Structure 1
Amino acid sequence: MKLLNTVLVVAMSAGIFYSCTTSSKEEQKTPQTESEEITDQGPRIVSLHASASEIISALGCEEDLVGTDITSVYPESVKKITKLGHISGITAQGILSLKPTLVVVHKDELSAQLEKQLQEVGVQIEKIEQNYTPEGTIRLISSLGETLDRKEEAQELIAAFNQEMDSLTVTSSNKKVVFIYARGAGTLMVAGKGTPMDALIQLAGAENPCSDFKDFKPLTSESLVKANPDALFFFNSGIESMGGLESLSQIPGYNLINAGKEGHVVSMEGSLVSSFGPRLPKAIRELSNKLSAVQ
């Protein structure tokens, strides 16, 4: 479930070679078309996926990013890049106003209409896949390294990622952890199977008792009491939207579960939890450490 859910004519060549490196070119003696001028200036990348934006930056191509979706907030410098909004509302006109040579987007989040509009003007589209496992992260890094002609950098990033993963010490426990997506007291959703939160909870050695459904569903007091988690898990921004820790008692069923009675609440930065990018080892370690304090 997606939680937060004309064309500018640009003559672009379908045979453009998309490399992150900006190589100098000999001056053309013949007049250049607009697309040739853009190409001569180097690649112009629009990333509509937070994990992709993070990896593109880690591969040394951040200077080629000309636009991102609103969820792309890491590294900090990416926040300064033009934001096109949430993927559900992004238009071809908005993308093409940035004169991109490459658009990176999750394959399940690209509408047929938007794809057609971009293809009609010759923009290369890289449709990525992501599954919430360490192996999925490695595949995504490798794929983007291939697309951006940064294979060597991708292998170095993967090697560092594997080293961090190998250094992790996670002790499995029987602790039940429920992730709640909050946008104020009026919007409370529980993470089920197939979500990055569910995967991260398991990688941190705990259990998600809400695994009998996929994606997210609205929280109810009955379902929360039935799950009876040992800890509740939030984004930092989610707790802030509720009005702080002292306001969590307004969650339906909060005072009837072990987590509520004991005040066992953990929170983490949203992009770290959900990206499943190069920082995944850090996310696992941080959640594992926080849960170790839950007795």
Structure 2
Amino acid sequence: MVSRIVKRTPIKSIRDCRRVGSRAHSRTRRSPIKGCVPTSSAPASSSVLASINKSLRSCRRRIIKVFSKLARITTPKSSLRKKGFKILNKLPYEEATVAAPGSLASTCKFLAFEDVSALPPLDSPTRKTIFLDLDETLVHSKSDPPPENFDFIVRPMINGERLNFYVLKRPGVDRFLRAISQSFEVVIFTAGLKEYASLVLDRLDPTGAMISHRLYRDSCREMEGKFVKDLSGMGRDLRRVVLVDDNPNAYGFQPENAMPIAPFIDDLKDAELGKLAKFFEGCEEFDDMREAVRLYGLLEDEDHCKLVVQ
């Protein structure tokens, strides 16, 4: 309806001019404005142009509204409710690390692996950091029925259910934490749920004097159903970082920073933490902790070879 009005307005004015056949008609031919409006009447010409522009804008808005309604009508509401956003496939870490800067793959790496668990800055830039696993590294936990030996019980609420976990501390864990916390920043990095692990850590370090930070399962990267502990986004120089863990899958991203440890279950004669404490005592001489880890691994292999020969 609006488009017809816009079309008829100039036609009607031309017919009126032709009926008149006066000097006004001859003057309009010399006017730069179409539509038989005398050049001397500037206000009238401005009002005609304003009216035309207003009609065109109104027509455009109505056309946009019509097409918007058609788009909503043709799109089933049920599909919008049920399908939602499409879940993107995970980008493999190795593929992202070799991507060219500024490429789509490198952008995906940033979006997929942008760190949300970065630790607060260190008080001293020269201070080294030890990331410690919890289960089978510092303690061993078991649910009901209770085992023969345990040191304490924690009762977390998981999925709306109160569960009992009987926790056995690895021999020497208290002494080990006290020793390394004097020279290192100690961070517990566990794949366990926060509801459970936080209760265990409260018993290991009730005053918070030894453990600087705690990272739980939500800080791990899930790759092929396995929880991997990525140290690259923690805000720490990888030259000054060591991860102690009994699970090789945990340090798949930075194996050169990993200090493997035998898993602990219930061996009350276990002495792994004592050997580990001696290792960290000698780490002050190394600027790059990865070099210390490499040398420790070589020494372990030599000792193992000697035992085999004997």
Establish whether TM, by shorter chain, passes 0.5. Answer: no
Q: State the TM-score, normalized to the length of structure 1.
A: 0.29
- Greater fraction helix: 2
